[in-house]
Amino acid sequence: MRAFLLSLFFIASCTSEPRLTGFKYGGGWEGNKVRTCNESDILHKWWHFETKNAIVNTIVPGFEKLCVFPTSDEILFWNDEEEWGAIQDNWSWNCSDIDTMKVVDTNTNEIYYVTIFGKDYDGCYDIEVTEGGITVRGDMCPCDDPFEE
């Protein structure tokens, strides 16, 4: 019986489709990298950011409640729980490489590099954000449009 169950598990694991795409997940190649940064896939859509860093989660406790809507030159923040939002027009978003988005705070000239490793079937991107030598891993997942009924 044990051998039968193990063989079923083995067959299922060999025939299942991979859940993620991108350069670390076996997606299509362009040169020696996979194109994972497409502005049309990211800009003008609602996103929720989740970090895998406990320290960052402690420093920015309300961040997980926000959805963001980036455009090429601004960002809209929305807290669906408390029903408030804000627009900041001091941001520049663009793909600086085929797998990296460059996000610039135009007021302070701080530059954040968002490396996009891949996207799963739920539409979440596996990302790494780097600024000033500090790197944080996380996920960027779709949010429901708060203004759509």
**103 near 93, Cβ under 8 Å?**
yes
- Secondary structure string (H, E, C) spanning 2-22: HHHHHHHHHHHHHHCCCCEEC
pLDDT bracket for residue 33 (50, 70, 90): low
Measured CA to CA, the distance from residue 149 to residue 130 in angstroms comes to 36
Look at strands 100-105 and 125-131 and give their pairing.
unpaired
Work out the burial of residue 32: count CB atoms within 10 Å of its CB; fewer than 13 is exposed, 13-18 middle, 19 or more buried. Answer: exposed
Enumerate domains of the chain plus CATH numbers: 20-142 (2.40.128)
**98 near 35, Cβ under 8 Å?**
yes
**pLDDT for 25:** 47
**pLDDT for 63:** 60
Does the pLDDT at position 86 exceed 50?
Answer: yes
**21 near 117, Cβ under 8 Å?**
no
Question: What are the pLDDT digits (tens) for 44-68?
Answer: 999 988 877 666 655 554 566 788 8
Which residue has 């520049």 as its token pair?
92
- The better pLDDT of the pair 60, 84 is held by 84
